[in-house]
Amino acid sequence: MKKTEPDYVIKVAIADDHTLFRAGVKTALSVKKDIQLIAEADNGMHLLNMLRHVEPDVILLDIQMPIMDGIQTLPEIRKMHPQAKVIILSMHNDHSMISKLMEIGANSYLTKNSDSETIYQAIKTCYEQEFFFNELTNKALLTGLRTKRADFGGGHQEVNLSEKELTVLKLMCEEKTTKEIADIVDISPRTVEAIRDKLKSKIGAKSMAGLVMYAIKNKIISQ
């Protein structure tokens, strides 16, 4: 259950086989009062073992690791902690890889040369709004739309969405928080979450990425 108290500290775990990179992230996050690094792992298997004992809100997950890499680890995280937000870290910006990872459950994708403030903002935004979009993720999602029909959204142009559902979808794509959407539409946050779940069901989307891709594909929002 997501904690919404203003003074709640976001619990973070990191899996990366580069000790110096982990140390750098740890140092950068240590000055943030609303972030607490609760677990460090050097490969996916190590992380999954740790997740039996800790429950992070956000996980920073490296793609290339020995024993078990990020691509193998992500689906297992989704099974163990479906509510955890996963931010992929990589040296590469391969659009097809980014699109694939977003579709199977990643909440954002950052290159490892991102500055500490970007990593912090990604953690905060993923925790509060489920997704952190940036130039990399946007280009990857749009490239994915152009090169293949998405599993969700394709053939769903005739889905009937109510005015309220359309409004909520647009606001979600604008990265408004659940509370902000509730205030704008004049409904309760619980109702916003119910509409979001209904949208996913109607459209056939598995995640917020699917909703955004559907909205772009069907010109509900413009890029």
**Is the predicted pLDDT of residue 26 greater than 70, yes or no?**
yes
Give the residue, 56 or 92, on which the prediction is more confident.
Answer: 56
As a whole-number percent, the residues of the chain with pLDDT over 70 amount to 89
Q: Which of 75, 106, 135 is the last residue of a domain?
A: 135
For residues 136 and 134, what is the distance between their CA atoms, to the nearest angstrom? 5
List, for residues 116-147, the tens digit of each pLDDT value: 999 999 999 999 888 888 878 877 777 765 55
**Is the predicted pLDDT of residue 194 greater than 50, yes or no?**
yes
State the average pLDDT for the chain.
85
Claim to verify: residue 161 and residue 212 sit in the same structural domain: yes
List, for residues 65-85, the tens digit of each pLDDT value: 999 999 999 999 999 998 999
CATH of the domain at 200: 1.10.10.10
Q: How far is CA 149 from CA 125, 201, 213, 217, 222, in A?
A: 28, 18, 11, 10, 18
Claim to verify: residue 100 and residue 165 sit in the same structural domain: no
**pLDDT grade, residue 152 (50/70/90)?**
very low
* Average pLDDT over every residue of 97-104: 83
User: For 37, which DSSP code?
Assistant: E
**pLDDT grade, residue 6 (50/70/90)?**
low
**Is the predicted pLDDT of residue 156 greater than 70, yes or no?**
no
Question: What residues make up the domain containing 156?
Answer: 152-217
**Is the predicted pLDDT of residue 184 greater than 90, yes or no?**
yes
CATH of the domain at 26: 3.40.50.2300
Non-local (6+) Cβ contacts of 46 within 8 A are 15, 67
| 85 token code pair | 């937000």
| 207 token code pair | 């995640």
Q: Which of 4-13, 103-112, 117-126, 201-210 has the lowest mean pLDDT?
A: 201-210
pLDDT at 150: 45
Specify the pTM.
Answer: 0.70
Claim to verify: residue 128 and residue 158 sit in the same structural domain: no
pLDDT at 155: 44
The answer to whether residue 142 is domain-embedded is: no
Claim to verify: residue 131 and residue 162 sit in the same structural domain: no
Task: Please compute Rg for the chain using Cα positions.
Answer: 17
* Average pLDDT over every residue of 174-200: 89
Which of helix, strand or coil describes residue 14?
strand
Claim to verify: residue 14 and residue 123 sit in the same structural domain: yes
Q: How many independent structural domains does the chain possess?
A: 2
For residues 199 and 68, what is the distance between their CA atoms, to the nearest angstrom? 34
* Average pLDDT over every residue of 177-206: 89
**Is the predicted pLDDT of residue 13 greater than 90, yes or no?**
yes
Claim to verify: residue 93 and residue 200 sit in the same structural domain: no
**Is the predicted pLDDT of residue 1 greater than 70, yes or no?**
no
Claim to verify: residue 32 and residue 122 sit in the same structural domain: yes
For residues 146 and 167, what is the distance between their CA atoms, to the nearest angstrom? 25
